[in-house]
């Protein structure tokens, strides 16, 4: 029995330490031989998690909607503008952009990793009203008649945008081209002529191409605008702020330093006060870090400075649960119970207190998630995840490890489990069952 528990405990310790240092701090390449050490191909969890603007750097843009004839600014039009901007940015392939409404007329856009704000503004700020006009200047089709648009290179190695109309749009286009054989049909975007070809024959297939793009990148940007649709209101750029990668890297390094210092201080405190039980709590804390960072990676979350603050704060709750359990454990020892019975009773009697404390914090986190926005929501999400994980590590991991160790019989003196008062005489002989 003792041998089995010794094996289980030390195997668990090895697995926990290996997982923590492999996934969180994987070995680097060998400097002398240039070879990769075991597990070096594993990317650290902190680096593999998407990073927000405050860590990665990028572009911060403030847009303000303006009233114009036929397109007044309303709550509905601003919401539709936010949705269209999100689609345009997603089409650009940017990592975890943030688009949110601020006040009655403003839209905040944050683009992590984007180093060219002019290009971003050109793509997201264009009204993108597309029109097909005959030589008399009459509009027969608009962007609403388009089904899709995609950049291509034609047989002549020219950059074009291939467009496909809706069923209704295809009929309109067929009628337009059929009535204008030998004449020009202009295709305009925001009043600017993109191309003005001569119609040679009626086009009935519901497809066409737009020429005039100098590069494939220009064709791609035009296709993005056409796919995302036209903005319902005119937007004016009020502020553009670029956050350099050096500033973001500095914030990241300070955050990692704070995270590391926080863990080290917590571990020292636990060992100093609870000794062997503190070592068990520290192992559970390492499991907590691995699971939490793994969840953030799995959920494709974006790590920001407030989010890191939420993680660090939730570490305190993880430790708080262990402290409650260990204090109950010591009380049970003092009334004459054996170490194993005291441990079981300590976990059971501390559970309701831990649950109440964590539920109250979870309620606050949920309120922040529902009513907050941006950085506040990121803080709340990470705090909530941390609370859930801390409950698991305290109730399951700490309990299992401590049970296995006590059952090894290697250390039976209660003082090594944080009991600072004089040990009752009967406990020196093993205590009651």
Write out pLDDT tens, residues 283-302.
Answer: 998 999 889 888 888 887 77
CA terminus-to-terminus distance, the chain = 17
- Separation of alpha carbons 417 and 333, rounded Å: 10
Q: Going by C-beta distance under 8 Å and a sequence separation of 6 or more, which residues neighbour residue 75?
A: 104
Q: Give the pLDDT score at 423.
A: 56
The domain 2-46+245-429 is classified under which CATH number: 3.30.70.120, 1.10.287.110, 1.20.1640.10, 1.10.10.10? 1.20.1640.10
Q: Which of helix, strand or coil describes residue 371?
A: helix
Amino acid 426: pLDDT = 54
pLDDT at 424: 56
**Is residue 132 within 8 Å of residue 176, measured between CB atoms?**
yes
The C-alpha atoms of residue 25 and residue 259 are separated, in whole angstroms, by 13
> Helix, strand, coil shares of the chain as percentages rounded to 5?
55, 20, 25
Give dist(CA 206, CA 166) in Å, integer. 7
What is the tens place of the pLDDT at every residue in 367-412?
A: 988 887 667 877 888 888 888 998 899 889 998 999 899 988 888 8
Domain chopping of the chain, boundaries = 2-46+245-429, 58-242
Distance, CA of 384 to CA of 363 (rounded, Å): 9
Return mean pLDDT, the chain. 81
pLDDT score of 280: 92
CB–CB of 61/117 below 8 Å?
A: yes
pLDDT at 244 over 90: no
Rounded distance between C-alpha atoms, residue 371 and residue 97, angstroms? 20
CATH number of the 58-242 domain: 3.30.1360.200
Backbone angles phi, psi at 100, to 5 degrees: -150, 150
pLDDT over 70 (residue 44): no
If phi > 0 it is left, if psi is from -120 to 50 it is alpha, else beta; for residue 303 that is beta
Tell me, what's the pLDDT at 95? 55
Q: Are residues 88 and 225 in contact, defined by beta-carbon separation less than 8 angstroms?
A: yes
Bigger pLDDT: 303 vs 36: 303
pLDDT at 31: 39
Q: Say yes or no to pLDDT of 268 above 60.
A: yes
d(CA 97, CA 269): 40
Band of residue 175 on the pLDDT scale cut at 50, 70, 90: very high
Indicate the pTM of the whole model.
Answer: 0.64
Residue of 42, 108, 104 whose CA lies nearest to 77: 104
Question: Cα–Cα distance between 96 and 236 in angstroms, integer?
Answer: 23
**177-203 per-position pLDDT tens digit:** 999 999 999 888 878 888 888 888 888
pLDDT at 33: 43
Residue-wise DSSP of 295-343: HHHHTT-EE-HHHHHHHHHHHHHHHHHHHHHHHHHHHHHHTTB-HHHHH
């Amino acid at each position: 029995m003792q041998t089995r528990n010794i094996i289980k405990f030390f195997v668990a310790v090895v697995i926990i330490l290996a997982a923590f240092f492999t996934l969180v701090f994987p070995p680097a390449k060998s400097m002398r031989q240039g070879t990769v050490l075991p597990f070096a191909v594993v990317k650290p969890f902190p680096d593999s998690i998407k990073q927000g603007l405050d860590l990665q750097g990028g572009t911060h843009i403030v847009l303000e909607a303006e009233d114009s004839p036929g397109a007044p600014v309303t709550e509905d039009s601003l919401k539709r503008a936010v949705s269209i901007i999100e689609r345009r940015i997603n089409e650009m392939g940017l990592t975890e952009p943030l688009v949110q409404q601020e006040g009655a007329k403003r839209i905040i856009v944050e683009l992590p990793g984007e180093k060219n704000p002019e290009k971003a503004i050109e793509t997201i700020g264009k009204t993108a009203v597309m029109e097909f006009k005959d030589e008399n200047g009459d509009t027969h089709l608009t962007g609403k008649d388009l089904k899709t648009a995609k950049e291509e290179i034609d047989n002549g190695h020219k950059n074009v945008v291939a467009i496909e109309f809706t069923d209704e749009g295809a009929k309109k286009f067929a009628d337009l081209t059929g009535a204008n054989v030998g004449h020009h049909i202009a295709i305009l975007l925001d009043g600017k002529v993109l191309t003005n070809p001569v119609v040679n024959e009626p086009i009935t297939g519901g497809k066409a191409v737009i020429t005039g793009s100098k590069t494939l990148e220009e064709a791609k940007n035009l296709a993005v605008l056409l796919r995302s649709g036209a903005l319902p209101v005119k937007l004016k750029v009020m502020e553009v702020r670029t956050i350099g990668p050096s500033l973001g890297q500095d914030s990241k390094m300070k955050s990692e330093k704070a995270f590391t210092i926080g863990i080290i201080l917590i571990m020292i405190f636990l060992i100093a006060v609870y000794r062997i039980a503190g070592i068990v709590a520290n192992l559970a804390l390492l499991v907590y870090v691995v699971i939490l960072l793994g969840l953030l990676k799995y959920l494709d979350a974006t790590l920001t400075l407030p989010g890191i603050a939420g993680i660090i704060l939730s570490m305190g709750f993880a430790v708080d649960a262990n402290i409650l359990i260990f204090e109950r454990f010591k009380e049970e020892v003092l009334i004459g119970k054996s170490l194993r019975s005291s441990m079981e009773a300590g976990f059971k009697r501390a559970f309701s207190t831990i649950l109440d404390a964590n539920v109250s914090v979870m309620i606050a986190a949920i309120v922040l998630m529902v009513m907050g926005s941006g950085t506040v929501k990121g803080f709340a999400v990470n705090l909530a995840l941390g609370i859930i994980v801390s409950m698991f590590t305290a109730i399951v991991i700490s309990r299992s490890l401590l049970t296995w160790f006590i059952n090894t019989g290697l250390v039976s003196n209660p003082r090594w489990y944080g009991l600072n008062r004089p040990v009752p005489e009967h406990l020196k002989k093993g205590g009651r069952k």
